[in-house]
């Protein structure tokens, strides 16, 4: 049987293969993935650390200014997080915040 390569995957799958996922897949659709809500949650976790003067530094002070739109247009939280993933990961690792690391990992996989 010849399959049309442009046919939707559900038709070519015959409904019984592993190509259908039970969890949302950003490569198929962002439907059912709350990227904005997840970014807000991660941003709150970031702020929990960097709003403590003992845990902040020049970079995090700039980050706060940038997040508030103080150095140009205010970026959306997802973009700001995506642009600073490594620094944010290091922040969470430094303070051993496993819950925040898990939220960051999920945001990165689903939305970035």
Instruction: Please state the domain extents for the chain.
Output: 33-111
Residue predicted with more confidence, 9 or 53: 53
Token digits for 16?
Answer: 């019984």
What is the pLDDT at residue 12?
A: 41
Mean pLDDT throughout 62-86? Answer: 94
Q: With a cut of 60, say whether residue 17 has pLDDT above it.
A: no
Cβ pair 10, 1 in contact under 8 A = no
Q: With a cut of 60, say whether residue 9 has pLDDT above it.
A: no
Percent of the chain past pLDDT 90, that is, above it, reads 62
Show contacts of 104-107: CB within 8 Å, 24+ apart: 104/42, 104/45, 106/38, 107/35, 107/38, 107/39, 107/42, 107/78, 107/81
What is the pLDDT at residue 71?
A: 82
Q: With a cut of 70, say whether residue 1 has pLDDT above it.
A: no
φ, ψ at 96 (rounded to 5°): 50, 45
pTM for this one?
0.73
Q: With a cut of 60, say whether residue 72 has pLDDT above it.
A: yes
Cβ pair 63, 84 in contact under 8 A = yes
């Amino acid at each position: 049987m010849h399959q049309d390569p442009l046919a939707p995957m559900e038709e070519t799958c015959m409904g019984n293969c592993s190509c259908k996922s039970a969890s949302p897949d950003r490569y198929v659709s962002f439907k059912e993935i709350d990227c904005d809500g997840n970014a807000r949650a991660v941003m709150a976790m970031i702020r929990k650390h960097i709003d403590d003067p003992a845990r902040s530094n020049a970079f995090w002070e700039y980050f706060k200014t940038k997040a508030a739109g103080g150095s140009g247009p205010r970026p959306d939280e997802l973009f700001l997080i995506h642009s600073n993933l490594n620094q944010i990961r290091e922040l969470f690792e430094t303070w051993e915040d496993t819950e925040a690391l898990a939220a960051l990992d999920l945001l990165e996989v689903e939305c970035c």
